[in-house]
Amino acid sequence: FPEMLSNPRLIPVQGTLNVVMNQNVTLSCHSDSGSPPVRYTLFKRGRKVSILNRPDLTPSLFNLTINSADDMGEYKCKAENNISSRGKYSNSLNFTLIEPVSKPVLSSSTSQAKKGQNVTLSCLSENGSLPITYIFFKGRESISPPVKMQKREAAVIFLFINSSSDFGTYKCRAENSFHNNTKYSKSFNFTLAEERKHSQPLIISLGLILLLFIIAFGLAIPFFIIRSHKASE
């Protein structure tokens, strides 16, 4: 007996709704049950995009190209057969446009440090779809768990400079949902800040005292000469 169609399912053949500009994508529309033949209509934001006829219940494949932001709208498909003229509608799909991360910049509030000092490292990619995940490295060794940033803000970690090995080479890595696109920053190195010797302030103080003594002595000599001259009269 003739059977009405079930609600079709609309799915991306590539398995993900994350796309990049100018990407070719394929949507599959399929009713699991009902009497063929079947006419499938694809809609974008309520407007007809394409119509395909199937003699059986095999999926209908719609090929699209994401050329602009307008192609990111809501998609649905409708399945119709000879039993009902109203047809059945599928679930809706929305593509998400993703952009690869740019090369991150690794920076610090200071480039010089000394042993026993707390410092920070910041890593930021100026471009790329959010969220962006950052990882910090010293040499080839990871020194932080992945830091996922939901906003366009730098990931920050705190370090304690405890030994000479902490003055090594640092890098950070940035990645998002764009596949096979991981970017590393340039290397960053802390330099050892010159520590002033404790004796320097003491030497400076003694020098100032000696200078003041010489000046005072120089000013006192004329006074004693005048006083000595009056006493001899």
The string of pLDDT tens digits covering residues 205-221 is 666 777 776 776 666 66
Give pLDDT tens digits for 52-92.
Answer: 999 999 999 999 999 888 888 899 999 999 887 789 999 99
**Averaged pLDDT score across all residues of the chain:** 87
Do the domains 9-97 and 105-192 sit in the same CATH topology, yes or no? yes
What does the domain layout of the chain look like in residue ranges?
Answer: 9-97, 105-192
Residue 231 has pLDDT above 60, yes or no: no
Task: Calculate the CA dihedral of residues 219, 220, 223, 224 and round it to 10 degrees.
Answer: -150
Residue 199 has pLDDT above 50, yes or no: no
**CB neighbour class for 125 (10 Å; exposed up to 12, middle 13-18, buried from 19):** buried
Q: How confident is the model at residue 222 (pLDDT cuts 50, 70, 90)?
A: low
What single DSSP character describes residue 128? S
pLDDT at 224: 54
**Fold adopted by 9-97:** Immunoglobulin-like (2.60.40)
pLDDT at 144: 94
Give pLDDT tens digits for 12-36.
Answer: 998 889 898 889 999 999 999 999 9
Which of 66-80, 134-148, 153-167, 187-201 comes out lowest in average pLDDT?
187-201
pLDDT at 106: 97
Instruction: Report the alpha-carbon distance of residue 109 to residue 136 in Å, rounded.
Output: 16
Class of domain 105-192: mainly beta
Q: Which residues pair with 107 in a beta bridge?
A: 122
Percent of the chain topping pLDDT 70: 86
